[in-house]
Structure 1
Amino acid sequence: MRTVIAEDNPVLRDGLTRLLADYDIDVLAAVDNADDLVTAAASLQPDIVVADVRMPPTHTDEGLRAALRIRQDHPDMGVLVFSQWVETSYARRLLADHPARIGYLLKDRIVRTDDFVDALRRVAAGGTALDPEVVRQLLAAPAVDRGVASLSPREREILDLVAQGRSNPAIAEQLNLAGRSVEKHVTAIFTKLDLPQARTDHRRVLAVLRYLNASAAGDR
């Protein structure tokens, strides 16, 4: 796997570079600003980019705006936002435009390097990886959606974990449920959200988007 890192803190930037090298992940470039990130993504074509949110010159939202541009220009490229800050409006746009190959993790909530590397690999492979706190803030004000409103508390809990990029076996382990039970809950979610099986649609992603869109509508 090949990646480009954008982080203005030199200690963290060098640390990430060395960490990923230990996991046989090739860091093609490690830059300290959003403009260089966009340039490196276009010229080097990595499998995934890792971007901080706040970078020079204003230290506000440069990293997220760069992530959105990369997603627009290179939809098959993974993007993992790795930051101390949750910017819900940008997170929704990242998920809405291209729901696959996206991650949003919080620096102070990563307790195991293996978790970070696993999330990076999952996003690069076409999945999602969202910190539970990011999901919580995105879903803090759900709007009235008949399908979403009909979900049981357990179904909502499972959909939260689906939004974090968890597989059915991982959900079963975390909630101490049987695998078949999780499968039945997921199927019920698809049914309540009117998401029939289709060859070209990813129902897990579509279910998460319905949930996030309900939250976004509630914010307006």
Structure 2
Amino acid sequence: MRVVLAEDSVLLREGLVRLLDEAGATVVEAVGDGEALVRAVVEHRPDIAVTDVRMPPSFGTEGLRAALEARRLVPGTAVLVLSQYVEQSYASDLLAEAGLGGVGYLLKDRISKLEDLSDALRRVADGGTVLDPEVVAGLFARRRSGPLDDLTPRERDVLGLMAEGRTNRAISKQLVVTEGAVEKHISSIFAKLNLPPSDDDHRRVLAVLTWLQS
């Protein structure tokens, strides 16, 4: 899979290039700011844009904004965001665009584990959604009261794994239940969150967005 990488730290950028290579990706260009990321994606049309959130000049959310802008110019480009921080707004902004291509949000500590990085790259490249388990746990801990209060503890477990981008089969293995039980839990989650079947909306993504926004 072909990757454009954006990271402003030269040392970290070189280290990420090596890690991505070991994870089975080919970095077609590595850049140091958001404008260069947009240009590189338009030029190379990679499978994935991997970017830090905080980039020059203000070290706000330039990396995230640039990646999403690049995808608007090159539809279907997957976006994998790396961050040192658990930020609800970052995850929400990414998930809001999940229907346009694969998205992922990993903490930088996670990417040192090649198995986790390879798995995240594959799922995002395939159009899936990946949230770091620590991001999921942190956001659940900060969650205010709201529509998720009607969910049972098991349904919250299932929703948390859905937020990580896990399939029904993966969820069943993680929770040691049948796939049929997972399907029933998910159907109950959709019903409690008032998410009826729709040809236009991705209910799994909408369920996670409801959780993030609650």
What TM-score does the superposition give when structure 2 sets the normalisation length?
0.87
Residue equivalent to 1:194 = 194
Cα deviation for residue 164 of structure 1 reads 0.7
Please state if 1:141 is matched with 2:143: yes
Cα deviation for residue 60 of structure 1 reads 3.3
CA spacing shift, 1:111–1:198, aligned 2, 3 Å = same
Please state if 1:5 is matched with 2:14: no
Residue equivalent to 1:218 = none
Question: Which amino acid in structure 2 is aligned with residue 127 of structure 1?
Answer: G
Contact 2:68 2:79 in 1 (8 A): no
Runs of 5+ in structure 2 lacking a partner? none
Q: Which runs of 4+ in 1 moved over 6 A?
A: none
Cα deviation for residue 61 of structure 1 reads 2.7
Cα deviation for residue 153 of structure 1 reads 1.2
After superposition, the CA RMSD in angstroms is 2.2
Cα deviation for residue 23 of structure 1 reads 4.3
What TM-score does the superposition give when structure 1 sets the normalisation length?
0.85
Residue equivalent to 1:153 = 153
Residue equivalent to 2:123 = 122
The alignment of Structure 1 onto Structure 2 pairs a total of residues equal to: 212
CA spacing shift, 1:181–1:125, aligned 2, 3 Å = same
Residue deviations 1:112-155 (CA, integer Å, cap 9, x gap): 2011111011111111110122223444223523xx33211110
Cα deviation for residue 51 of structure 1 reads 0.3
Q: Distance in 1 between matches of 2:211 and 2:88?
A: 14
Contact 1:71 1:94 in 2 (8 A): no
Residue equivalent to 2:204 = 204
Q: Structure 1 vs Structure 2: percent identity of aligned residues?
A: 53
Runs of 5+ in structure 1 lacking a partner? 216-220
